[in-house]
A and B are shown apart, each in its own frame.
Chain A
Amino acid sequence: MKRIYVSEKWCLGCHLCEYYCAFANSGSDDMAKALMNRRINPRIQVEERSGISFAVSCRHCEEPLCVKSCITGALSSEGGLITIDKNRCVACHTCVLACPYGTIMPSDDGMMQKCELCLKNAIGEPACVKYCPNRAIIYEDSAAPAAAAQ
């Protein structure tokens, strides 16, 4: 399955991925309207400290502990894509407690949201990858990692 990989060597710490993520999942076609004057809740988040930065989003684990731990069945795997049915989530945070990467987080309404590789929204391909100005985020088949991000 194609997954997102990040390289801290190329990450500029510009946070553009966060804005494009929030926009891609806003359902709006006007970036300014979707993001202006709002606290955004992106599904990819940049960690940074003293010159190091890198973006973190769901790894779409082969052994997804979030799915196996979810107490309601809201999380599931669709052929390797780990998705959430927000309608069944009760915000118990069990998945937050289970995810080793800290990549499942509450959305604006408190229920959980996570990266679904933009396969469920209108963009259809990961917006963070598409708009990263320095190609620090790539989208590749894990079986054949061509470009070493080192």
Chain B
Amino acid sequence: MKTKQYLIIGNSAAAIGCVEGIRQLDKTGAVTIVSREAHHTYSRPLISYLLSGKTDRQRMRYRDADFYETYGVAPLLGRTALSLDPAQKTIALDDGQTLPYDKLLVATGSVPFVPPMEGLDLVSKKFTFLSLDDADALAAAVTADSRVLIVGAGLIGLKCAEGLSGQAGSLTVVDLAPQILPSVLDEGAAALVQAHIERQGVRFLLSISAARFENGAAHLTDGSTVPFDVLVLAVGVRPSVSLAREAGAAVGRGLITDEYMRTNLPGVYAAGDCTESFDITSGERKPLALLPNAYLQGETAGLHMAGGGKPFCTAMPMNAVGFWGLHIVSAGSYAGDAYIKCEGEHYRKLVCRDNLLQGFILIGDVLRAGIYTALIRDRVPIDTIDFELIKDKPGLIAFSRRDRQKKLGVKPA
């Protein structure tokens, strides 16, 4: 039998999940990874930790140095896929090579979204913050007295601010939204986190946007001007879909797949930030630019490419992040009846609807939050557990004795 040719475009969470999925079932098929970035697979969220010196290039590897060898992967790093021919089942690379495949995974991730802004082309020191190369370029540009302006108070903008904290002269974050982390937190939680970050010396300008730039200054919509030395654009990310779209792949808000991560093109799968997911808590199809989701989708694709596996149908937003020591975890969506408790820097919100936990936000005390996540993921009817008991402190004690025994005990003989 001819060896199966697996080809993966991308070298990050979704791609690695795919390799690990394939190798659970197929130890001999040929696996090739093509990646534009000329680096060993690394943890993208760690680029801010690299800026602050809390990690280094060795430790930020997402997998061990011998990963490709151990998993029998041929890595083509620093190579960009330019086009995909679904009829011939080949992709074309920027060095002129054409690579054939039996099964292809598109795991091209996100691209930064930069809305058109007047005068942006005049700014010489401007950066996005998505890749290791971005972090290196930014680190080289920032000095101890740089005034840094970050456009975007989302996860990436704030992680960038934390990474630069103590290394720049000043840090200002501007956002059109009235609150920070709008896609993760509600208003109350956002205010609490904002106050915490302000105490670290970061200045926020909210409900404002940049009307016009010149080199070294942003003119804002409220008429004020903010001078800066370094500009970081962290407005948002978009699924990177162009390669697959040009080949005829169906695109909604990201690449559209079924629950095995198959696109509409035969033999072509997609996983990670480049796709749209079905959020079980809101019922919406939307991109979930989150690492655990990317890994799980990649693994699902890999298993199915190798002839097995099971559908992935438990996607939902899930965020865990810390800012200057304050931990925030959240999951699901927030439409429904809310239980809220707020004490100092501790915040707790649990949202129920239709007899199900749909979402939560925990700040400060985040211990054992996964017990809540599992209630959402497993669609556990609230009235089958002692929910009151675990509103303030998650525990398995909320389950019936039988369910606890199933979770923790030996199966009854």
Contact = CB atoms under 8 A, between A and B. Distances in A.
A125 interface: no
Interface in A1-52: 5-8, 47-49, 52
A150 B395 contact: no
B351 to A, nearest CB: 16
A96 interface: yes
Contacts of A108: none
B300 to A, nearest CB: 11
Nearest to A89: B59
B329 A87 contact: no
Residues of B in contact with A, size category: 35 or more
Contact of B412 (A47, A69, A150): A150
Nearest to B377: A100
A118 interface: no
Interface stretch (B219-227, B237-245, B275-283, B366-374): B366-374
Contacts of A101: 370-371, 396, 407
Interface in A88-113: 88, 90-102, 104-106
A121 B99 CA distance: 48
A49 B397 contact: yes
Interface in A119-135: none
Interface residues of A, number: 43
A8 B43 contact: no
B322 A6 contact: no
Question: Interface on chain B toward A: helix, strand, loop, or mixed SS?
Answer: mixed
A102 B396 contact: yes
B297 to A, nearest CB: 11
B411 interface: yes
B45 A71 contact: yes
A145 interface: yes
Nearest to A147: B410
B327 interface: yes
Contact of A71 (B43, B296, B370): B43
B389 interface: yes
B309 to A, nearest CB: 12
Contacts of B370: 65, 95-102, 104
A69 B409 contact: no
B391 interface: no
B63 interface: yes
A73 interface: yes
A92 B409 contact: no
Nearest to B408: A6
B299 interface: yes
Given A54-B404, A90-B54, A96-B366, A72 B373 contact: no
A125 to B, nearest CB: 18
A68 B327 CA distance: 21
Contact of A105 (B322, B367, B404): B367
Interface in B372-399: 373-374, 377-378, 389, 394-397
A84 B84 CA distance: 39
Given A47-B395, A68-B292, A102-B368, A97 B320 contact: yes
B49 interface: yes
B17 A148 contact: no
Interface in B81-126: none
Given A56-B408, A92-B321, A68 B49 contact: no
Contacts of B367: 96, 102, 105-106
B13 to A, nearest CB: 8
B43 A73 contact: yes
Nearest to B367: A105
Given A6-B409, A102-B370, A150-B412, A96 B396 contact: no
Contacts of A138: 410
A22 to B, nearest CB: 17
A84 to B, nearest CB: 14
B401 interface: yes
Contact of A149 (B61, B407, B409): B409
Contact of B318 (A47, A98, A100): A98
Interface in A47-71: 47-49, 52, 54, 56, 59, 65, 68-69, 71
Interface of B: 17, 43, 45-46, 49, 54-55, 59-64, 291-292, 295-296, 299, 318-322, 327, 329, 331, 366-371, 373-374, 377-378, 389, 394-397, 401, 404-405, 407-413
